[in-house]
Protein backbone atom coordinates (compact mmCIF):
# COMPACT_ATOMS: atom_id res chain seq x y z
CA UNK A 1 0.00 0.00 0.00
CA UNK A 2 2.81 2.41 0.96
CA UNK A 3 4.59 1.56 -2.27
CA UNK A 4 1.52 2.32 -4.42
CA UNK A 5 0.86 5.64 -2.68
CA UNK A 6 4.47 6.74 -3.09
CA UNK A 7 4.50 5.70 -6.73
CA UNK A 8 1.41 7.80 -7.47
CA UNK A 9 2.80 10.71 -5.52
CA UNK A 10 6.18 10.93 -7.23
CA UNK A 11 5.97 8.94 -10.45
CA UNK A 12 5.70 12.05 -12.65
CA UNK A 13 8.41 14.07 -10.92
CA UNK A 14 11.13 11.50 -11.58
CA UNK A 15 10.94 12.10 -15.32
CA UNK A 16 11.52 15.78 -14.71
CA UNK A 17 14.88 15.19 -13.07
CA UNK A 18 16.31 12.87 -15.74
CA UNK A 19 19.29 14.22 -17.61
CA UNK A 20 19.12 14.20 -21.41
CA UNK A 21 22.80 14.59 -22.16
CA UNK A 22 25.32 11.78 -21.77
CA UNK A 23 29.05 12.15 -21.26
CA UNK A 24 31.24 10.63 -23.97
CA UNK A 25 33.37 7.68 -22.91
CA UNK A 26 37.11 7.73 -23.35
CA UNK A 27 39.73 5.03 -23.13
CA UNK A 28 42.71 5.17 -20.83
CA UNK A 29 46.39 4.53 -21.39
CA UNK A 30 48.33 1.86 -19.53
CA UNK A 31 48.71 2.47 -15.76
CA UNK A 32 51.92 3.98 -14.45
CA UNK A 33 53.85 3.17 -11.31
CA UNK A 34 52.21 4.51 -8.08
CA UNK A 35 53.65 7.78 -6.83
CA UNK A 36 54.40 8.56 -3.16
CA UNK A 37 51.61 10.18 -1.19
CA UNK A 38 53.67 13.32 -0.58
CA UNK A 39 54.10 14.04 -4.30
CA UNK A 40 51.23 15.83 -6.07
CA UNK A 41 49.44 13.81 -8.71
CA UNK A 42 50.55 15.43 -11.95
CA UNK A 43 49.56 13.81 -15.22
CA UNK A 44 49.64 14.53 -18.90
CA UNK A 45 46.74 13.75 -21.19
CA UNK A 46 47.77 11.32 -23.93
CA UNK A 47 46.07 11.21 -27.30
CA UNK A 48 43.78 8.31 -26.38
CA UNK A 49 42.37 9.91 -23.24
CA UNK A 50 43.20 11.00 -19.70
CA UNK A 51 45.61 9.08 -17.52
CA UNK A 52 44.28 7.35 -14.40
CA UNK A 53 46.70 6.58 -11.59
CA UNK A 54 46.46 3.79 -9.02
CA UNK A 55 48.16 5.88 -6.37
CA UNK A 56 47.65 6.29 -2.65
CA UNK A 57 46.68 9.85 -1.85
CA UNK A 58 44.68 12.23 0.29
CA UNK A 59 41.12 13.44 -0.40
CA UNK A 60 41.99 17.17 -0.42
CA UNK A 61 41.74 17.58 -4.21
CA UNK A 62 38.86 15.17 -4.74
CA UNK A 63 35.54 16.44 -6.02
CA UNK A 64 34.31 12.84 -6.13
CA UNK A 65 34.75 9.87 -3.81
CA UNK A 66 33.33 6.38 -3.48
CA UNK A 67 33.77 4.49 -0.22
CA UNK A 68 33.18 0.78 0.25
CA UNK A 69 32.21 0.49 3.92
CA UNK A 70 33.38 -2.54 5.88
CA UNK A 71 29.99 -4.11 6.65
CA UNK A 72 31.22 -7.71 6.66
CA UNK A 73 29.12 -10.12 4.58
CA UNK A 74 26.98 -7.45 2.95
CA UNK A 75 27.32 -4.28 0.91
CA UNK A 76 27.23 -0.56 1.55
CA UNK A 77 28.69 2.06 -0.80
CA UNK A 78 28.79 5.80 -0.08
CA UNK A 79 29.22 8.07 -3.11
CA UNK A 80 30.07 11.77 -2.81
CA UNK A 81 30.07 14.21 -5.71
CA UNK A 82 30.57 17.94 -5.20
CA UNK A 83 29.28 17.75 -1.64
CA UNK A 84 26.17 15.67 -2.42
CA UNK A 85 25.81 12.09 -1.18
CA UNK A 86 24.28 8.82 -2.38
CA UNK A 87 24.16 5.66 -0.25
CA UNK A 88 23.88 2.39 -2.16
CA UNK A 89 22.80 -0.34 0.29
CA UNK A 90 23.39 -0.33 4.03
CA UNK A 91 24.73 -3.76 4.97
CA UNK A 92 23.19 -6.32 7.31
CA UNK A 93 21.57 -5.75 10.70
CA UNK A 94 24.84 -6.04 12.59
CA UNK A 95 26.40 -3.24 10.52
CA UNK A 96 23.58 -0.72 10.93
CA UNK A 97 25.13 1.22 13.83
CA UNK A 98 28.50 1.30 12.07
CA UNK A 99 26.99 2.76 8.89
CA UNK A 100 25.10 5.41 10.86
CA UNK A 101 28.23 6.28 12.85
CA UNK A 102 30.31 6.51 9.67
CA UNK A 103 27.90 9.03 8.16
CA UNK A 104 27.90 11.11 11.33
CA UNK A 105 31.68 11.03 11.73
CA UNK A 106 32.13 12.21 8.14
CA UNK A 107 29.59 15.03 8.45
CA UNK A 108 27.07 13.50 6.06
CA UNK A 109 24.03 15.41 7.30
CA UNK A 110 21.78 14.64 4.32
CA UNK A 111 21.56 12.07 1.55
CA UNK A 112 20.43 13.23 -1.88
CA UNK A 113 19.74 9.62 -2.83
CA UNK A 114 19.28 6.38 -0.93
CA UNK A 115 19.36 3.24 -3.08
CA UNK A 116 18.41 -0.32 -2.20
CA UNK A 117 19.94 -2.59 -4.83
CA UNK A 118 17.48 -5.35 -3.86
CA UNK A 119 15.71 -6.47 -0.70
CA UNK A 120 18.10 -9.05 0.80
CA UNK A 121 18.74 -8.48 4.49
CA UNK A 122 22.49 -8.02 4.06
CA UNK A 123 21.82 -5.06 1.77
CA UNK A 124 18.90 -3.19 3.34
CA UNK A 125 18.95 -3.67 7.11
CA UNK A 126 21.40 -0.82 7.55
CA UNK A 127 19.24 1.45 5.40
CA UNK A 128 16.49 1.30 8.01
CA UNK A 129 18.85 2.69 10.65
CA UNK A 130 20.08 5.39 8.27
CA UNK A 131 16.52 6.51 7.50
CA UNK A 132 15.87 6.94 11.22
CA UNK A 133 18.91 9.18 11.68
CA UNK A 134 19.69 10.95 8.40
CA UNK A 135 17.40 13.07 6.20
CA UNK A 136 16.94 11.56 2.73
CA UNK A 137 15.73 13.60 -0.24
CA UNK A 138 14.65 10.67 -2.40
CA UNK A 139 15.02 6.91 -2.64
CA UNK A 140 15.43 4.42 -5.47
CA UNK A 141 13.87 1.01 -4.87
CA UNK A 142 13.59 -2.09 -7.08
CA UNK A 143 10.06 -2.67 -8.34
CA UNK A 144 9.20 -5.99 -6.69
CA UNK A 145 7.98 -7.08 -3.26
CA UNK A 146 8.92 -9.72 -0.70
CA UNK A 147 7.26 -11.05 2.43
CA UNK A 148 10.22 -10.51 4.77
CA UNK A 149 10.04 -8.50 7.96
CA UNK A 150 13.02 -6.32 7.02
CA UNK A 151 11.39 -5.40 3.71
CA UNK A 152 8.26 -4.31 5.57
CA UNK A 153 10.35 -2.32 8.04
CA UNK A 154 12.03 -0.50 5.16
CA UNK A 155 8.71 0.32 3.53
CA UNK A 156 7.28 1.53 6.85
CA UNK A 157 10.13 3.92 7.61
CA UNK A 158 10.10 5.32 4.06
CA UNK A 159 6.44 6.13 4.60
CA UNK A 160 6.97 7.52 8.11
CA UNK A 161 9.72 9.85 6.89
CA UNK A 162 7.73 10.82 3.76
CA UNK A 163 10.67 9.99 1.51
CA UNK A 164 9.73 10.15 -2.20
CA UNK A 165 10.34 6.72 -3.71
CA UNK A 166 11.12 6.02 -7.36
CA UNK A 167 11.17 2.66 -9.12
CA UNK A 168 13.70 3.24 -11.91
CA UNK A 169 13.84 1.58 -15.30
CA UNK A 170 16.86 0.60 -17.35
CA UNK A 171 18.15 3.66 -19.18
CA UNK A 172 16.97 6.24 -16.62
CA UNK A 173 19.58 8.90 -15.81
CA UNK A 174 19.87 11.21 -12.81
CA UNK A 175 22.52 13.43 -11.25
CA UNK A 176 24.54 13.71 -8.06
CA UNK A 177 26.43 16.98 -8.11
CA UNK A 178 28.22 16.90 -11.46
CA UNK A 179 28.14 13.11 -11.60
CA UNK A 180 25.81 11.43 -14.07
CA UNK A 181 24.28 8.17 -12.90
CA UNK A 182 22.57 5.77 -15.29
CA UNK A 183 20.39 2.78 -14.44
CA UNK A 184 21.98 -0.02 -16.49
CA UNK A 185 20.01 -2.86 -14.91
CA UNK A 186 17.85 -4.72 -14.41
CA UNK A 187 16.23 -5.22 -17.80
CA UNK A 188 12.96 -5.64 -15.89
CA UNK A 189 11.86 -6.79 -12.43
CA UNK A 190 10.46 -10.14 -13.53
CA UNK A 191 13.46 -12.36 -12.84
CA UNK A 192 12.84 -15.50 -10.82
CA UNK A 193 15.84 -14.70 -8.63
CA UNK A 194 15.58 -11.56 -6.51
CA UNK A 195 19.34 -11.10 -6.96
CA UNK A 196 18.77 -10.49 -10.66
CA UNK A 197 16.30 -7.72 -9.79
CA UNK A 198 19.19 -5.67 -8.37
CA UNK A 199 19.33 -2.00 -9.39
CA UNK A 200 22.65 -1.59 -11.23
CA UNK A 201 24.31 1.83 -11.55
CA UNK A 202 26.98 3.23 -13.84
CA UNK A 203 28.41 6.45 -12.43
CA UNK A 204 30.39 8.94 -14.51
CA UNK A 205 32.33 11.83 -13.00
CA UNK A 206 34.23 13.49 -15.79
CA UNK A 207 36.33 10.70 -17.25
CA UNK A 208 36.13 8.46 -14.17
CA UNK A 209 33.52 5.68 -14.29
CA UNK A 210 32.19 3.15 -11.75
CA UNK A 211 29.88 0.15 -12.11
CA UNK A 212 27.74 -1.17 -9.21
CA UNK A 213 25.65 -4.30 -9.77
CA UNK A 214 24.41 -5.38 -6.31
CA UNK A 215 23.88 -9.15 -6.34
CA UNK A 216 23.01 -9.38 -10.05
CA UNK A 217 23.79 -12.84 -11.40
CA UNK A 218 24.65 -14.33 -14.77
CA UNK A 219 21.23 -13.86 -16.40
CA UNK A 220 20.94 -10.19 -15.47
CA UNK A 221 24.59 -9.51 -16.35
CA UNK A 222 24.13 -11.03 -19.79
CA UNK A 223 20.99 -8.96 -20.33
CA UNK A 224 22.94 -5.81 -19.43
CA UNK A 225 25.62 -6.70 -21.95
CA UNK A 226 23.01 -7.49 -24.62
CA UNK A 227 21.34 -4.10 -24.04
CA UNK A 228 24.40 -2.42 -25.62
CA UNK A 229 24.47 0.29 -22.99
CA UNK A 230 27.74 1.97 -22.09
CA UNK A 231 29.23 -0.37 -19.50
CA UNK A 232 33.00 0.33 -19.66
CA UNK A 233 34.28 1.42 -16.25
CA UNK A 234 37.45 2.10 -14.30
CA UNK A 235 36.11 0.66 -11.03
CA UNK A 236 33.85 -2.38 -10.75
CA UNK A 237 32.19 -3.24 -7.43
CA UNK A 238 32.27 -7.03 -7.63
CA UNK A 239 28.80 -8.54 -7.88
CA UNK A 240 27.31 -10.77 -5.17
CA UNK A 241 30.37 -10.63 -2.88
CA UNK A 242 32.46 -12.63 -5.32
CA UNK A 243 29.99 -15.49 -5.84
CA UNK A 244 30.53 -17.71 -8.87
CA UNK A 245 27.02 -16.77 -10.04
CA UNK A 246 28.23 -13.23 -10.88
CA UNK A 247 31.20 -11.46 -12.52
CA UNK A 248 30.77 -13.33 -15.78
CA UNK A 249 33.36 -13.28 -18.52
CA UNK A 250 30.88 -11.43 -20.75
CA UNK A 251 30.55 -8.59 -18.25
CA UNK A 252 34.29 -8.32 -17.60
CA UNK A 253 35.02 -8.22 -21.32
CA UNK A 254 32.59 -5.36 -21.95
CA UNK A 255 33.13 -3.38 -18.74
CA UNK A 256 36.93 -3.86 -18.83
CA UNK A 257 37.58 -2.41 -15.35
CA UNK A 258 41.06 -1.58 -14.04
CA UNK A 259 40.12 -1.79 -10.39
CA UNK A 260 37.70 -3.91 -8.36
CA UNK A 261 36.13 -3.33 -4.94
CA UNK A 262 35.01 -6.52 -3.18
CA UNK A 263 32.76 -6.34 -0.12
CA UNK A 264 32.89 -9.67 1.71
CA UNK A 265 32.92 -10.94 5.29
CA UNK A 266 36.00 -12.65 6.69
CA UNK A 267 35.60 -16.45 6.96
CA UNK A 268 31.96 -16.25 5.83
CA UNK A 269 29.93 -19.46 5.60
CA UNK A 270 29.13 -18.87 1.90
CA UNK A 271 32.81 -19.34 1.04
CA UNK A 272 32.85 -16.00 -0.79
CA UNK A 273 34.76 -14.94 -2.78
CA UNK A 274 34.95 -18.01 -4.98
CA UNK A 275 38.12 -19.20 -6.64
CA UNK A 276 36.38 -18.79 -10.00
CA UNK A 277 35.83 -15.07 -9.43
CA UNK A 278 39.32 -14.47 -8.04
CA UNK A 279 40.83 -16.20 -11.07
CA UNK A 280 38.70 -14.18 -13.50
CA UNK A 281 39.76 -10.87 -11.91
CA UNK A 282 43.42 -11.88 -11.95
CA UNK A 283 43.30 -13.03 -15.55
CA UNK A 284 41.92 -9.64 -16.57
CA UNK A 285 44.74 -7.85 -14.72
CA UNK A 286 42.38 -6.02 -12.36
CA UNK A 287 43.76 -4.46 -9.18
CA UNK A 288 41.79 -5.77 -6.20
CA UNK A 289 40.64 -4.07 -2.99
CA UNK A 290 38.69 -6.19 -0.47
CA UNK A 291 37.07 -5.38 2.87
CA UNK A 292 37.81 -8.72 4.57
CA UNK A 293 41.53 -8.00 4.26
CA UNK A 294 41.69 -4.19 4.21
CA UNK A 295 38.58 -2.77 5.88
CA UNK A 296 36.84 0.25 4.39
CA UNK A 297 38.39 1.63 1.21
CA UNK A 298 37.89 4.89 -0.70
CA UNK A 299 38.65 5.90 -4.26
CA UNK A 300 38.96 9.63 -4.99
CA UNK A 301 38.77 11.44 -8.30
CA UNK A 302 38.89 14.94 -9.74
CA UNK A 303 37.30 13.74 -12.98
CA UNK A 304 40.63 13.19 -14.71
CA UNK A 305 42.71 11.10 -12.31
CA UNK A 306 41.86 8.74 -9.48
CA UNK A 307 43.68 7.64 -6.35
CA UNK A 308 42.95 5.33 -3.43
CA UNK A 309 43.07 5.40 0.35
CA UNK A 310 45.31 2.33 0.34
CA UNK A 311 47.33 0.14 -2.00
CA UNK A 312 45.76 -2.81 -3.84
CA UNK A 313 45.42 -6.06 -1.90
CA UNK A 314 47.99 -8.72 -2.74
CA UNK A 315 45.94 -11.49 -1.11
CA UNK A 316 43.86 -13.37 -3.67
CA UNK A 317 42.81 -16.14 -1.29
CA UNK A 318 39.27 -17.39 -2.06
CA UNK A 319 36.76 -17.83 0.73
CA UNK A 320 36.84 -21.60 0.41
CA UNK A 321 40.31 -21.54 1.97
CA UNK A 322 39.27 -19.42 4.94
CA UNK A 323 35.62 -20.32 5.62
CA UNK A 324 34.66 -22.80 8.37
CA UNK A 325 34.76 -26.39 7.18
CA UNK A 326 31.07 -27.12 7.59
CA UNK A 327 29.90 -28.70 4.33
CA UNK A 328 26.27 -29.50 3.69
CA UNK A 329 25.35 -33.07 4.46
CA UNK A 330 24.80 -35.15 1.33
CA UNK A 331 22.32 -38.00 1.00
CA UNK A 332 21.56 -40.72 -1.58
CA UNK A 333 19.59 -39.50 -4.63
CA UNK A 334 16.46 -41.44 -3.69
CA UNK A 335 16.14 -39.63 -0.34
CA UNK A 336 17.16 -36.15 -1.49
CA UNK A 337 14.90 -33.18 -0.87
CA UNK A 338 16.87 -31.00 -3.30
CA UNK A 339 19.55 -31.36 -5.96
CA UNK A 340 22.37 -28.81 -5.84
CA UNK A 341 24.34 -27.37 -8.72
CA UNK A 342 27.55 -26.55 -6.86
CA UNK A 343 28.84 -24.53 -9.82
CA UNK A 344 25.91 -22.17 -10.32
CA UNK A 345 24.94 -22.28 -6.61
CA UNK A 346 21.31 -23.13 -7.39
CA UNK A 347 19.04 -25.77 -5.87
CA UNK A 348 16.35 -27.74 -7.66
CA UNK A 349 13.64 -30.30 -7.03
CA UNK A 350 14.91 -33.77 -8.02
CA UNK A 351 12.37 -33.96 -10.86
CA UNK A 352 13.43 -30.60 -12.37
CA UNK A 353 14.47 -30.93 -16.07
CA UNK A 354 17.61 -28.89 -15.30
CA UNK A 355 18.94 -31.73 -13.15
CA UNK A 356 19.41 -33.97 -16.20
CA UNK A 357 21.47 -31.26 -17.87
CA UNK A 358 23.91 -30.82 -14.96
CA UNK A 359 27.48 -32.00 -15.12
CA UNK A 360 27.90 -34.89 -12.71
CA UNK A 361 30.87 -33.20 -11.05
CA UNK A 362 28.66 -30.22 -10.13
CA UNK A 363 25.72 -32.28 -8.86
CA UNK A 364 25.02 -32.96 -5.19
CA UNK A 365 22.00 -34.30 -3.28
CA UNK A 366 20.86 -32.96 0.09
CA UNK A 367 18.01 -33.09 2.57
CA UNK A 368 18.89 -29.64 3.95
CA UNK A 369 16.04 -27.18 4.40
CA UNK A 370 15.33 -24.43 1.92
CA UNK A 371 16.27 -21.86 4.59
CA UNK A 372 19.65 -23.49 5.18
CA UNK A 373 20.43 -23.56 1.47
CA UNK A 374 19.57 -19.88 1.10
CA UNK A 375 21.74 -19.10 4.11
CA UNK A 376 24.61 -20.96 2.44
CA UNK A 377 24.30 -18.75 -0.65
CA UNK A 378 22.24 -21.03 -2.89
CA UNK A 379 19.34 -19.60 -4.92
CA UNK A 380 16.18 -21.38 -6.03
CA UNK A 381 15.85 -22.60 -9.60
CA UNK A 382 13.62 -20.29 -11.60
CA UNK A 383 12.11 -23.19 -13.53
CA UNK A 384 10.95 -25.63 -10.85
CA UNK A 385 10.72 -22.91 -8.14
CA UNK A 386 11.57 -25.06 -5.09
Where along the chain do its domains lie? 2-15+48-319, 333-380
**pLDDT, mean of residues 272-281:** 96
% helix, strand, coil for the chain, step of 5: 30, 20, 50
Q: Check if the beta carbon of residue 307 is closer than 8 Å to that of residue 208.
A: no
Instruction: Please tell me the least confidently modeled range out of 55-59, 157-161, 316-320.
Output: 55-59
Q: What's the pLDDT tens digit per position in 129-169?
A: 999 999 999 999 999 999 999 999 999 999 999 999 999 99
Nearest-angstrom CA–CA distance, 216 and 11: 25
How far is the CA of 100 from the CAs of 89, 129, 171, 212, 298, in angstroms? 12, 7, 31, 21, 17
The 10s digit of each residue's pLDDT in 208-256 is 999 999 999 999 999 999 999 999 999 999 999 999 999 999 999 999 9
Average pLDDT in the 330-346 region? 79
State the average pLDDT over residues 13-42: 35
CATH architecture of 2-15+48-319: 4-Layer Sandwich (3.60)
Question: Quick check: helix, strand or coil at residue 161?
Answer: coil
183-190 contacts: CB < 8 A, separation 24 or more? 184/211, 184/224, 184/227, 184/229, 184/231, 185/213, 185/216, 185/220, 185/221, 185/223, 185/224, 186/142, 186/216, 186/220, 186/223, 186/224, 187/220, 187/223, 187/224, 187/227, 189/142, 189/143, 189/144
Amino acid sequence: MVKDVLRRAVGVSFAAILLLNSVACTSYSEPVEPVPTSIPLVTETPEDGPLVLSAVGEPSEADFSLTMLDVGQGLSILVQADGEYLLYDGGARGASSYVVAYLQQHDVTELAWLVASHYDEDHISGLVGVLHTTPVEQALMPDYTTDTQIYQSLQNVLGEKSVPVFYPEQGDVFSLGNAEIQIVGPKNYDYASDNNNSICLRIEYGDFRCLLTGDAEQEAEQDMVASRQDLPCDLYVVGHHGSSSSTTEELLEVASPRYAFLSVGASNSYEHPTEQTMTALQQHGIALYRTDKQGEITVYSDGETCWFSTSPCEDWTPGSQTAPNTPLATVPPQSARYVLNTHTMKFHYPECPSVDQMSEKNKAFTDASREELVTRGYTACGQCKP
